[in-house]
Amino acid sequence: MTILVTGGRGSVARALIDELLAVDAPVRVVSRDPARADVPAGVQVAAADLARPESIPAVLDGVTAVFLYAEPAGIDGFLDAAAAAKVERIVLLSSLSAEDPDTSTPIARRHVVVEEAIAASGLAWTFVRPGAFATNALGWAPSIRAEGVVRGAYPESHSAPIHERDMAAVAARALLEPGHEGKRYALTGPESLTAREQVELIGAAIGRPLRFEALSLDQARAQLQAQLGPSAWPGIADTLLRYQADSDGRPVAVSDTVGAVTGRPARTFATWAADHAPAFRSGQ
């Protein structure tokens, strides 16, 4: 009855591991680099890579359910191996962008390709579709620690950031309980906040006044590309900036799915900021 958790270094996977261990569910964590996986002592960690089909069958031995990140490379081979291993269900960490009418953007396309492959596999599935991750704010941490400043093109752009623990809680229900098969769960945090408001909440969490400094679009693009690094998906910086422009001064829709699935409301961004305050304090 083992549950396989892929992406062992991801923040959602790490939170999911805690959710599963809390109910004594047997967990096997998969990572390309097991030595760097952040898991509690005693949790089994196995090496595998979706892009290397030969590495997959061994980690699926005895597995009944899989938590999967949206990685198009090797997805068909992985699903074939999962079917052969008699895996009962797949829970995919997808993206709210999969609901975007324009599925040609890099973020949407990546997730839609994987969703379509899973839906065609014959396996039972649940798609967990979060919007903005609260952990995206960790990209601001270096400039907050060094200068008390966040820089970007759209200080009034809105999002409804969701705590990684809420994504994990929904995924855990879908892995452990019946009744979630075929569901596409749109997830957001409980409130639409501007980027400036998020920075203010981080400042409140660390007891330090912070400010948001507006950049030109070209400056913001260069900054974002530098943060994303050379391995980022092509076009991702422009896609993210387009999302920010589209929500500039416009509150985004908020979902109550976390509450409906878990029985408790989604955590606020203020809670997330308090949980992660050490990352934003100088000297950390």
pLDDT in tens, 237-259: 999 999 999 999 999 999 999 99
Asked whether residue 284 carries a pLDDT value surpassing 60, the answer given is no
Nearby residues of 29 by Cβ (< 8 Å), 6 or more positions away: 4, 5, 8, 13, 17, 37, 39, 43, 44, 45, 46
Query: How many of the other CB atoms lie within 10 Å of CB of 266?
Result: 27
Q: What's the token pair of residue 213?
A: 């400094």
Mean pLDDT of the chain: 94
> 2-130, what's its fold?
Rossmann fold (3.40.50)
Q: At what angle do helices 164-176 and 11-22 cross, to 10 degrees?
A: 50
- Give residue 283's pLDDT band: very low, low, confident or very high (50, 70, 90): low
Residue type (1 letter), 270: A
Query: In this model, does residue 42 exceed pLDDT 80?
Result: no
CA–CA–CA angle 277, 128, 172 (5° rounding) = 75
Query: Could you tell me what percent of the chain has a pLDDT over 70?
Result: 99
- Please tell me the distance from the alpha carbon of residue 168 to that of residue 274, in angstroms, as a whole number: 18
pLDDT of residue 3: 97
pLDDT of residue 16: 96
Confirm if 210 and 199 have CB atoms less than 8 A apart. Answer: yes
**Domain range summary for the chain, segments of one domain joined by +:** 2-130, 136-143+148-158+190-252+268-280
CA dist 225 and 185 (Å) reads 30
Instruction: State the pairing for strand pair 27-31/2-5.
Output: parallel
Q: Vertex 256, ends 120 and 69: CA angle to 5°?
A: 35
CB 23 within 8 A of CB 1: no
pLDDT at 56: 94
In single-letter form, the type of residue at position 40 comes to P
Distance of CA 244 to the CA centre of its chain: 18
Do the beta carbons of residue 203 and residue 269 sit within 8 Å?
no
The proportion of the chain whose per-residue pLDDT surpasses 90, expressed as a percent, equals 82
Q: Which fold has domain 136-143+148-158+190-252+268-280?
A: UDP-galactose 4-epimerase; domain 1 (3.90.25)
Kindly report which listed range (163-167, 232-236, 242-246) carries the lowest average pLDDT score.
232-236
186 pLDDT above the threshold of 60: yes
- Largest separation between any pair of C-alpha atoms in the chain: 56
Which of 92-96, 147-151, 153-157, 279-283 shows the lowest mean pLDDT across its residues? Answer: 279-283
The pLDDT-based confidence of 46 (bands split at 50, 70, 90) is very high
Q: Where are the alpha helices (DSSP H) in 85-194?
A: 106-119, 141-147, 164-176
Residue 46 in contact with residue 66, Cβ under 8 Å?
no
pLDDT at residue 74 above 80? yes
Q: What is the pLDDT of residue 234?
A: 77
Name the one residue in this structure whose structure tokens are 């890579």. Answer: 49
Between vectors from CA 100 to CA 96 and to CA 231, what angle results, nearest 5°? 70
Token reading at 188:
């957001």
Determine the pLDDT at residue 38: 79
CB 91 within 8 A of CB 68: yes
Instruction: Determine the pLDDT at residue 229.
Output: 83
- 62-73 pLDDT tens trace: 999 999 999 998
User: With 70 as the cut, is the pLDDT of residue 135 above it?
Assistant: yes
CA angle 113, 116, 121 (to 5 degrees): 125
**161, 137 contact by CB (below 8 A):** yes
- Rounded to an integer, the average pLDDT of 199-219 is 97
